[in-house]
Amino acid sequence: MSTAAAHSPRRIAWTRRRRAVSGAWREYRHHRPGMIGLGILIAVVAMALAAPLLADPSGLHVVTTTQNAAFASPSDFGGLGTDKFGRPVLTQFIWGARISLLVGLAATILAVLIGSVVGILAGFFGGKPGGALMRVTEWFLVIPFLPLAIALAAILGPSVKNLIVVIGITSWPSTARLIRAQVLTLKERDYVDRSRALGASDWHLMTRHILPNVSPLILANTTLTVPIVILSEATLSFLGLGDPQNASWGKMLDDAFEAGAVTLQAWWWIIPPGLGIMLVVLAFTLCGTALEEILDPRLRDRRRA
């Protein structure tokens, strides 16, 4: 391997990035709440991935469980009891994790993707096109999210795919605004001017200069968007817009409520799905706050003070 290749600009940049990442990880390890969040997340994701091993999926279908007692408490039935149709709640909980996490992550990625693209374009290009993009973004920010999502979901119909799309296309504006602000400050930096003087194209500037510098912010924002998306999905599912074939935790709560679990005080049906949502939201919030503190130098001082 020649020395020239080892010190190519690309190689240097990647070494620097690797070192930055390992440095950030080292700091993250010291952040107690962040580590707790990470731990919870790993546990829940592991449970979701291992669902086929942990719980028999036939328990999700009404036809196979008719012989079970309905509304059986854990002391009678074991595990987390049964629902109105005799389906084990534990099985639904484990399999429901998949849907909640899937919609949460997929919708977040969609929202952050759209938001970042809009934000970078609006910030980079400024002027008329940038202004127009921001005007559209601001309008979407004013429309209250839930009524809009409800309207869209009602029209499109209840399915996992539709939920992902609906939440994704209603949650991008705040990301766009955040990214645009950052791009505006980055655009003023000297290296952008110098790069342009060397003849760099807009595309080159955006992908090689702006994007790597805005990535930490995108990462922190993504981690903090997931909780909002998960709560939104839970609410939409609870209102009846969730996919009945693929029940998320929110849908479980909808089923519980419709079946009268509240009046019958079937706590084993009510508590687990809500607790699951709460733990995942908490975990992502803790991780996101930790990431924000590590990546944003301003917040770091406050931690030490």
Applying CB under 8 A, which part among 11-19, 59-67, 115-123, 239-247 lies near another protein?
A: 239-247
Distance CA 146, CA 106 (A): 18
- Burial class of residue 75 (count of CB atoms within 10 Å of its CB; 0-12, 13-18, 19+): exposed
Looking at the Cβ atoms of 20 and 264, the one nearer to another protein is 264
- Which one of residues 253, 287, 290, 294 is an interface residue with another protein (CB under 8 A)? 253
**Cβ closest to another protein, residue 82 vs residue 233:** 233
Binds another protein (CB under 8 A): choice among 238, 247, 291, 293: 238
Helix, strand or coil for residue 244? coil
- Dist. CA 266–CA 245, nearest whole Å: 23
Interaction between residue 44 and another protein (CB under 8 A): no
> Which phi and psi angles does 115 have, rounded to 5°?
-60, -45
Q: Which of 250, 291, 292, 295 binds another protein (CB under 8 A)?
A: 250
What one-letter code names the amino acid at 264?
L
| 20 interacts with another protein by CB under 8 A | no
Beta bridge partners of 82: 88
CB 256 within 8 A of CB 270: yes
Round to whole Å and give the CA distance between 185 and 274. 41
For the CB of residue 237, give the shortest distance to another protein in the complex, in Å: 10
Residues that bind another protein (CB under 8 A): 139, 142-148, 150-152, 154-156, 227, 231, 234-235, 238-241, 250, 253, 256-257, 261-263, 265, 267, 270-271, 273-274, 277-279, 281-282, 285, 302, 304-305
